[in-house]
């Protein structure tokens, strides 16, 4: 009789199987997101996708500042806000002009510090969603991992930023592109009258392809890293769509009122 092969002993100090590289995780976020989120259980690093998003955000800021008349842009924003109009009505013509110039200068600064706002937003969103999934589904997701999920999930917004930047570069009149409102035909609201029913317009505008993509990735991400196997991908995404639906309903009501 032949002697059965003896299994080699497992070395507990041997290095674990190598995970995905940062470029692989970024690419997989677009084509195979489950792989990226599963890899976050090994390494919850998030600075590379954040830096990548920040670079594209700053590039867009450079384009916008060069191509858009920020004073005209500020006037348009005031015209679209009942609250801003009421504030301007209380000012003298000289004060009104100074206020417009000041807002335009502040808008220029915002374009260049937007990555800082994005990071603060990600920190807050990560904490809120960690609480939702940990307390609601016993997901046991640590904060660093939750933050990484949020930052990776927002990577598709880079495509939106690139398309909008290209639109500004090739447009005959960049000032006709409402960069602060609904500049891209990626949602039903783009084809509606913004001065019509503001509640319905806001709802339709938030049904944007890039936004829904991000929401789906967030749900998928938390389900992938959850320690509770009962939190499936379908449950995670459904939860995120419910949360997003509540947020856009509240936002639409506020915009309709002001």
Question: Looking at per-residue confidence, does 88 or 4 come out higher?
Answer: 88
- What was the pLDDT predicted at 13? 42
Q: Domain tally for the chain?
A: 1
Structural domain contains residue 27? no
State the pLDDT confidence band at 92, using cuts at 50, 70 and 90: confident
- Domain-embedded: residue 225: yes
**What does each C-alpha distance from 215 to 18, 25, 191, 202, 206 come to in angstroms?**
29, 18, 23, 17, 11
pLDDT digits (tens, 9 = 90+) for 46-87: 999 999 999 999 999 999 999 999 898 888 888 777 778 888
DSSP per residue over 19-49, as a string? ---HHHHHHHHHH-HHHHHHHTTT----HHH
Q: Mean per-residue pLDDT for 36-47?
A: 96
The token pair at 198 is 């503001």
Within-domain flag for 212:
yes
Q: Establish if 48 belongs to a structural domain.
A: yes
Instruction: Look up residue 247 and give its two tokens.
Output: 């947020």
Task: State the average pLDDT for the chain.
Answer: 89
Mean pLDDT lowest among 34-43, 50-59, 66-75, 216-225: 66-75
* Nearest of 172, 162, 160, 155 to residue 221 by alpha carbon: 155
Residue 17 confidence (pLDDT): 57
Q: What confidence score (pLDDT) does residue 97 get? A: 87
Task: Tokens for 19, please give them.
Answer: 């995970």
Q: Tokens representing 110?
A: 């915002």
Residue 1 lies in a domain: no
pLDDT in tens, 126-158: 999 999 999 999 999 999 999 999 999 999 999
- Does a structural domain hold residue 80? yes
State the residue range of the domain holding 44: 34-257
Does residue 15 lie in a domain region? no
Please report whether residue 131 resides in a domain: yes
Q: pLDDT-derived band of residue 7, with 50, 70 and 90 as boundaries?
A: very low
Percent above pLDDT 70 for the chain: 93
- Return the residue matching tokens 């939750």: 146
Question: Quick one: how many helices (H) and strands (E) in the chain?
Answer: 11, 0
Please report the pLDDT score of residue 42 as a whole number: 94
**Which of the residue ranges 97-106, 201-210, 230-239 would you say has the lowest mean pLDDT?**
97-106
């Amino acid at each position: 009789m032949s002697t059965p092969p003896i299994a080699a002993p497992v070395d507990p100090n041997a290095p674990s199987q190598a995970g995905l590289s940062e470029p692989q995780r970024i690419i997989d976020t677009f084509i195979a997101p489950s792989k990226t989120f599963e890899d976050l259980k090994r390494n919850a690093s998030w600075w590379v996708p954040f830096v990548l998003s920040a670079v594209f955000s700053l590039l867009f800021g450079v384009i916008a500042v060069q191509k858009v008349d920020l004073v005209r842009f500020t006037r348009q924003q005031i015209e679209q806000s009942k609250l801003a109009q009421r504030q301007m009505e209380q000012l003298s013509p000289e004060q009104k002009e100074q206020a417009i110039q000041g807002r335009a200068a502040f808008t220029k600064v915002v374009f260049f510090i937007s990555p800082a706002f994005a990071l603060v937003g990600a920190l807050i969103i990560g904490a809120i969603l960690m609480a939702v999934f940990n307390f609601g589904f016993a997901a046991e997701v640590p904060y660093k991992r939750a933050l990484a999920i949020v930052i990776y999930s927002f990577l598709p917004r880079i495509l939106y930023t690139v398309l909008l930047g290209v639109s500004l570069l090739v447009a005959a009149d960049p000032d006709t592109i409402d960069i602060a409102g609904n500049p891209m035909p990626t949602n039903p609201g783009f084809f509606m009258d913004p001065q019509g029913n503001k509640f319905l317009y806001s709802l339709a505008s938030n049904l944007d392809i890039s936004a829904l993509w991000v929401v789906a990735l967030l749900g998928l991400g938390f389900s992938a890293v959850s320690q509770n196997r009962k939190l499936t991908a379908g449950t995670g995404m459904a939860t995120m769509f419910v949360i997003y639906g509540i947020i856009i309903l509240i936002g639409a009501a506020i915009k309709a009122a002001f």
